Amino acid sequence: MARDGREARYRGDPASANPHPEGSEAHAVWRRAWETPEGEGAERESPERRTSQTPLSS
């Protein structure tokens, strides 16, 4: 399910393309994978997050 969600994101499919019934665990797993295609660990370690949390020096 997670793999399908990531692949959908890479193809450019919208989140509404989730094939699982809303409210189901499968729907939640697919959606989470679509929202963070590189995985939650990658999201925590992404350069964008580190940059946004680190003040810029002048």
Predicted pLDDT at 46: 44
Number of domains in the chain: 1
Are the C-beta atoms of 10 and 37 separated by less than 8 Å?
A: yes
**18 occurs within a structural domain:** yes
CA distances, 20 to each of 13, 24, 27, 37 (Å) = 14, 7, 5, 17
- Which residue range(s) make up the domain with 20? 2-53
**58 occurs within a structural domain:** no
What would the two tokens of residue 15 be?
């989140």
**36 occurs within a structural domain:** yes
Residue 18 amino acid letter:
N
**28 occurs within a structural domain:** yes
- Give the pTM: 0.63
Query: Residues 1-42: pLDDT tens digits?
Result: 888 999 999 999 999 999 999 999 999 999 999 998 776 555
**40 occurs within a structural domain:** yes
**16 occurs within a structural domain:** yes
**Distance, CA of 46 to CA of 41 (rounded, Å):** 8
Predicted pLDDT at 44: 52
What would the two tokens of residue 36 be?
């963070």
